[in-house]
Amino acid sequence: MINILPIQMHQIKDAKYVITAVAQRIYMPEKNVQHFWDILEAEGELMDVDNFQKAYNENRGLFLVALDDEKVIGTGAIKKMEEDSAELKRLWLLEEYHGQKIGYQIVLRLLDFAHTQGYRKLRLQTSEKQIRAVQFYKQLGFYEIPSYRESMDNISMELTLQQREHNGP
């Protein structure tokens, strides 16, 4: 049974593994997961996950994990950017779970949370290498905008929350 719940301290390593395992196949398929993990750790790329309470919970945000029984299979988070805007982060799902609307359910939970926090806009950054993700975000109503932060991710997108609908991808 799949559950989507706020991350707990004991799930940090597993959440980082999901992020690393999926991203490795996209960004460095020639490397193995452990090597990619080591690179991300050395660069401090996943420090926000290590410090999810400060990075998300204490920043008008929320970090969720999708669980298959007790196994972490997906992640998704939201955090404050400005008073009326938030950023969608860390949306990753193990490939064997694609096509089951789990990612969609994570996003719906995060959108509902964004509404409760009074956010009007939700932004994200992704890469052109993430073809499925870009299509998914467009189906949800996100549209491309000029880059709002320097990043290796070269696509910035935004969603105006009042106009969103739950049509589903």
pLDDT at res. 153: 64
For the record, the structure tokens of 4 come out as: 């989507």
Residue 166 has pLDDT above 70, yes or no: no
Q: If you search the block for the tokens 């660069």, which residue do you land on?
A: 43
pLDDT at res. 163: 46
**Coil, strand or helix at 89:** strand
Tell me the pLDDT tens digit for each residue of 81-132: 999 999 999 999 999 999 999 999 999 999 999 999 999 999 999 988 888 8
* pTM attached to this predicted model: 0.90
- Predicted confidence band at 169 (pLDDT cuts at 50, 70, 90)? low
Provide the pairing of β-strand 85-93 with 121-126.
parallel
Superfamily of domain 2-119: Gcn5-related N-acetyltransferase (GNAT) (3.40.630.30)
Tell me the pLDDT tens digit for each residue of 24-40: 998 899 999 999 999 99
**CA gyration radius, the chain:** 15
User: Is 104 in contact with 133 (CB distance < 8 Å)?
Assistant: no
> Phi/psi zone of residue 122: left (φ > 0), alpha (ψ -120 to 50 degrees), beta?
beta
* Distance (Å) of CA 101 to CA 74, 115, 122: 12, 21, 20
